[in-house]
Amino acid sequence: MAKIKPSQGAPYARIMGVGGYRPTRVVPNEVILETIDSSDEWIRSRSGIATRHWASPEETVTAMSVEAAGKAIADAGVTPEQIGGVIVSTVSHFKQTPAVATEIADKIGANKPAAFDISAGCAGFGYGLTLAKGMVVEGSAEYVLVIGVERLSDLTDLEDRATAFLFGDGAGAVVVGPAKEPAIGPTVWGSEGDKSETIKQTVAWTDYRDGTVDKFPAITQEGQAVFRWAVFEMAKVAQQALDAAGISAADLDVFIPHQANMRIIDSMVKTLKLPEHVTVARDVETTGNTSAASIPLAMERLLATGQAKSGDTALVIGFGAGLVYAATVVTLP
């Protein structure tokens, strides 16, 4: 019986560079109030959101991804030709096939990389990061580009008082490459499919196509159920990620949770008993909930503004539709 040669990858993997793209149009709460019966005060108190970015027709999923990817590649100090894998997490690319990752890979100038899309909602960046780490360590790619990108304005029902104010558009990207010491910890991830109805698309595309419904599909959610799940269950997952990495909350420099809701973020900080020295990402205030893009966008902003620095230890956790989740500890690029 022949023996298969073992993989020849790097001993560890790390995030080498990060980039983000936010659409040029900034949408304040006043615009949302044109279609729902609410107030700026109510929206801010319930979500912490003051503004969000909505993409123009030219700011497609591909275009935003290419912009974010270019910044991440430059930040990592590598060339597009060195990218051996492109992983794109999105729920708002409306062509079923081919994967948008293949188009992005071509436009950035990568040389025939593995390229594929994943659909893991707001946990998508964590899923992609874990897959990229495996590719680098396994040896199938030296550098992997991970992109979280959404045009959730296309899936927003502006008459739904529960969700009309939540969603924004944007793209965030990181380059994952080889490391000599651990810089991406073990991932704690999973799913709770029995709660799949709490965040979902309103109707199937085929229902709209066949005329069963006349309203374009949108994302809807059961706000209170999602809030309770995120606050109580995801704090446990975050703690498990800390334990898996062999560190405590006191060892953290930065906390980057999915930017779903300011109240959820603040509640998780309290439950985890994070020390005051830990910088907490609160990008949701000006960016809204961008699903798979939210963690890399928040990471990019913290580094760009000096609120976090290269080498900091950060806990990242994403959670959302599925319900799915993924948490890990990383060293910031």
Tell me the catalytic residues: 122, 258, 289
Selection from 91, 262, 268 nearest residue 165 by Cα = 262
> For residue 220, what is the enclosing H or E element?
strand 219-221
Looking up tokens 């309203």, which residue turns up?
215
> For residue 300, what is the enclosing H or E element?
helix 294-305
Q: H helices then E strands: how many in the chain?
A: 11, 14
Query: In Å, how far from its chain's centre is CA 20?
Result: 11
Pairing of strands 169-179, 143-151: antiparallel
Q: How far apart are CA 318 and CA 327, in angstroms?
A: 6
Pairing of strands 199-201, 219-221: antiparallel
- Return all residues near 4 (Cβ < 8 A) that are at least 6 apart: none
> For residue 317, what is the enclosing H or E element?
strand 313-320
Selection from 257, 262, 92, 37 nearest residue 166 by Cα = 262
Using an 8 Å Cβ cutoff, are 193 and 325 in contact? no
